[in-house]
Structure 1
Amino acid sequence: MNDSVATQDQKAEYRDLIILGGGLVGMTLALAAARAGITSHVIDRADPADLTAEGADGRASAISTASWNLFTNIGLAPALKDLGCPIDSIAVTDSMKPGRIDFTPKPEEGSLGRMFANRDLRLALFAAAREEKNIAWHVRTEAVRRDRGPHGVEVELFDGRVLKASLLVAAEGRQSPTRDEARFALAKWDYKHRAMVTGLFHEKSHDNTAWEIFYPAGPFALLPLRDDDQGRHRSALVWTVAEKDAAGIIAMPDAMFLHEVESRMHGVLGRITLSAPRMSYPLRFHHAGHVIDERLAVIGDAAHGMHPIAGQGLNLGLRDVGALVEVLTEGMRLGLEPGDAQLLARYEKWRSLDTFMVMSVTDGLTRLFGIPGRLPSAARRLGMGAVQRLPSLKRFFMDEARGMSGKLPELLQA
């Protein structure tokens, strides 16, 4: 097993990459790189057993078609294919008033994506990492020193071990200390909203439909999950509330919380009960103006954090993974090392426009649907009705949901 115990005798082992953060994006990078023959140290402060414990995390993620292609191409599909729920349709509505949009592809076009419990994604990633010789996995520890220079990078761990590599990759999430230490400029703001996240059992089948219900206080999303082992219907809930109201909602007993949720569902899934712990987190936007520095690349939430309105946060991070692995692989074939400045510049140029476009659209939707009042609501529903009637416009939005627009890395192509 390639974990912190197995690498005690590798105090200064040189590898191609040091990846700080072994979450969904960081570990996917390690696996994708490993399949291309690129070696890595992965450092994570968490204990994998805690992250994958039953009931520890009720969150779920929408995996776009492009991201599923990535999982398939790095060999994760067999472990995951029976755990995800296809998203066959997306219903978008303004407060459940007339004028909704239904995004439903033709049967031969496949689904709009798949919903997975985050726990299932982690279990598959961690199992694959343990069997991959190109990954040295250091858990329950963290970097206390990061040095980058013209000839490589060096990281000292909490227990004194020193790891060396050509390139340092920061995948530590929104509060990335490596990004902050490098003094990357961030465009950022607080939406003054909080996401209430949990899982629901419900009486009626969701029919593989995701619901995005926009209320003035924020979007209310019901995302389809597979039925559990007892045949109970399940969905993930992401309910956005104003920060000023969040403390009161968090303090609600479960029965009161469920009553509030049910009142916003208008009976679309029937009676509901909780299937997962209730969690919440503040919603903020941040975007790094640069995602590279000397022998450093920043990926995933460390580089960009957005509102969950379109479910694209993880998918954007997986596009970072595909682009970085492709750039490094092509460069190493030409004899360049992973930390070469030319390769990093190519990675940044590739990702900058795509990231900016996705985040701008997501932020725009958040603001558009957050304007209260009858007139803005009527205007939104008029626009939604126009989209519903225009196949070409619906096709554009469905391609965006699938993650199939723009220049895709090879790993994200079928």
Structure 2
Amino acid sequence: MTAGTMSHPQTGSRTGAGHDDVDVCIVGAGPVGATLACRLAVGGLRVAIVDRAALPPMEDPAFDGRAYAIAAGPRRLLEEAGVWPLLPLQACPIEEIRVSDGRPGEAPSPLFLEFGREDAAQPFGWMIEARALRVALNRALYAHDLVTVLAPEEVTVTRTAEGARVRTRSGCTFGARLVVAAEGRRSALRDQARIGITRLPYHQSGIVCAVAHEHPHNNRALEHFLPAGPFAQLPMAPTPEHPNLSAIVWSESDALAQRMVGLPHEAFAHEIQRRMGDWLGRVTPVGRRWVYPLSAQYAQRYFDTRMVLVGDAAHGIHPIAGQGLNLGFRDVAALSDMLIAAHARGEDLGAPALLRRYQARCRPANMLMLAATDMLERLFGNDNPVLRRARDLGLAGVHRMPALRRAFVRHAMGL
């Protein structure tokens, strides 16, 4: 059974990369795939990781406005994988979150939900610049003797019941007990394994950027629901140029999002201010502006012969709750725990029973999160006055129930 081709060739972190058999071959070295490789190597497994792009271990690109919100559970995973200590830039804790409802240019509803320091014994999450996480991941990959990096590289994977064979474009071949598809939403391995995918388009795009602002954020985040979609302000660590800095993520219709990111600097800042309000003073966009089409999708199953799906190859959700990458990290935590335990017992890492247990552990929770974010988007992403009143009352009701607030927090933190 043939399943998968990636694009681009070459190099490895060890001399002779590609000649020795490995326990696991991971295709895709984004945050999910790279973290899985590091976690498995810490657990004693031999890993090959393949990616289309080069992965220079010391790269430190310029600030580009993108950042990740890392929940408490995934942070623990990054620590166990040896990645967190290698972050070259400071992470910013999220210690307060205000959830409100309103319209652009108007004051938010007086009914709101607020999560504070009393709702958790630690920060709800940490904001990490995308460039910092990439640098840490690359350094960690090259630091492990048990990891072979093949990037940039193109490989062809052939899977049978007995095992998988991986062939690089340069002609090297090696065996693997298990192949992990971590190439993202357009996974070639998933498609070639004929694993069905269901997509839910939102006809929206997410705008991502960063803003400097006059007043300190005090580690406080804002989730402001607007008729066109959610608007989020997420606190970031200061830089030498910008002592007060936040990430911005907001949703608009596809056409309007494209118009927004094309606005002149002052007009773009004005649109952000209309949605965020004045609580941080005047805002100034910094770095690049990014636009991403928004949709949800889910794979019908998470495994095939000698192969499993992780991260966006298995599921993609609306960013309304900021849980997309954290869901992928939960896949990594579950799969790495199971593979390391199986390896210690001398079991077959590609055994169908083990892959089935991984699916049973992850897919129901992922589907529940997909359904919840889809419901939130449909409930909050409209201007129906009846629904607006109902959701405002709902937010205020949860705000008055500390036990329920803490339950929401623990689930979102991945604890």
TM-score (norm 1): 0.93
Q: Which amino acid aligns with 1:46?
A: A
Change (3 A) 1:110 1:237: same
Residue 101 of structure 1: aligned partner = 113
Residue 408 of structure 1: aligned partner = none
Equivalent residues of 2:88, 2:132 under 8 A apart: no
Change (3 A) 1:35 1:157: same
Residue 70 of structure 2: aligned partner = 63
Equivalent residues of 2:296, 2:318 under 8 A apart: yes
Q: Which amino acid aligns with 1:400?
A: H
Give the stretch that moved more between structures: 369-378 or 174-183.
369-378
SS of 1:276's equivalent in the other structure is: strand
Q: Which amino acid aligns with 1:340?
A: A
Equivalent residues of 1:234, 1:275 under 8 A apart: no
Q: Which amino acid aligns with 1:4?
A: T
Change (3 A) 1:297 1:36: same
Residue 326 of structure 1: aligned partner = 337
Offset from partner CA, 1:201-222 (integer Å, 9 cap, x none) = 1111111011000001000000
Change (3 A) 1:382 1:5: closer
Paired residues, number: 401
- Distance, in Å, in 2 between the alignment partners of 1:361 and 1:52 is 37
Mapping for residues 164-203 of structure 1, pairs under 5 Å: 164-203=175-214
Equivalent residues of 2:25, 2:176 under 8 A apart: yes
SS of 1:31's equivalent in the other structure is: helix
Mapping for residues 247-396 of structure 1, pairs under 5 Å: 247-396=258-407
Change (3 A) 1:6 1:232: closer
- Distance, in Å, in 2 between the alignment partners of 1:60 and 1:211 is 15
Deviation at 1:266, TM superposition (A): 1.3
Q: Which amino acid aligns with 1:360?
A: A
The alignment-based identity, stated in percent, is: 36
Equivalent residues of 2:120, 2:406 under 8 A apart: no
Offset from partner CA, 1:347-393 (integer Å, 9 cap, x none) = 11111111111111111111110122222111110111111111121
Deviation at 1:275, TM superposition (A): 2.2
Q: Which amino acid aligns with 2:372?
A: V
Residue 21 of structure 2: aligned partner = 14
Question: Is the aligned partner of 1:128 residue 2:140?
Answer: yes
Give the stretch that moved more between structures: 194-203 or 74-83.
74-83
Deviation at 1:229, TM superposition (A): 2.2
Change (3 A) 1:232 1:10: closer
Offset from partner CA, 1:99-134 (integer Å, 9 cap, x none) = 111111328711111111111111111111111001
Q: Which amino acid aligns with 2:24?
A: L
Q: Among 155, 163, 174, which residue is 1:163 paired with? A: 174
Give the stretch that moved more between structures: 232-241 or 364-373.
364-373
- Distance, in Å, in 1 between the alignment partners of 2:120 and 2:328 is 28
Offset from partner CA, 1:253-310 (integer Å, 9 cap, x none) = 2222111111111112111112221011100110112100100000001111111111
Residue 4 of structure 2: aligned partner = none
Mapping for residues 104-119 of structure 1, pairs under 5 Å: 104-106=116-118, 109-119=121-131
Deviation at 1:142, TM superposition (A): 2.1
- Distance, in Å, in 2 between the alignment partners of 1:51 and 1:241 is 36
Structure 1, unmatched stretches of 5+, are 405-414
Change (3 A) 1:72 1:53: closer
**RMSD over aligned Cα atoms:** 1.9
Equivalent residues of 2:28, 2:182 under 8 A apart: yes
Change (3 A) 1:85 1:289: same
Q: Which amino acid aligns with 2:174?
A: L
Offset from partner CA, 1:125-164 (integer Å, 9 cap, x none) = 1111111001000111122x22101221112223332232
- Distance, in Å, in 1 between the alignment partners of 2:284 and 2:313 is 35
Q: Which amino acid aligns with 1:124?
A: A
Q: Among 64, 77, 86, which residue is 2:84 paired with? A: 77
Equivalent residues of 1:50, 1:56 under 8 A apart: no
SS of 1:22's equivalent in the other structure is: coil
Q: Which amino acid aligns with 1:381?
A: D
Residue 11 of structure 2: aligned partner = 4
Offset from partner CA, 1:333-357 (integer Å, 9 cap, x none) = 2221211111111111111111111
Q: Among 228, 237, 245, which residue is 2:239 paired with? A: 228
Equivalent residues of 2:88, 2:135 under 8 A apart: no
SS of 1:173's equivalent in the other structure is: coil
Offset from partner CA, 1:173-199 (integer Å, 9 cap, x none) = 111111111111112111000001011
Mapping for residues 233-244 of structure 1, pairs under 5 Å: 233-244=244-255
Change (3 A) 1:108 1:319: closer
TM-score (norm 2): 0.92
Equivalent residues of 2:258, 2:291 under 8 A apart: no
Deviation at 1:395, TM superposition (A): 1.2
SS of 1:346's equivalent in the other structure is: helix
Change (3 A) 1:314 1:164: same
Change (3 A) 1:108 1:306: closer
Residue 138 of structure 1: aligned partner = 150
Mapping for residues 148-159 of structure 1, pairs under 5 Å: 148-159=159-170
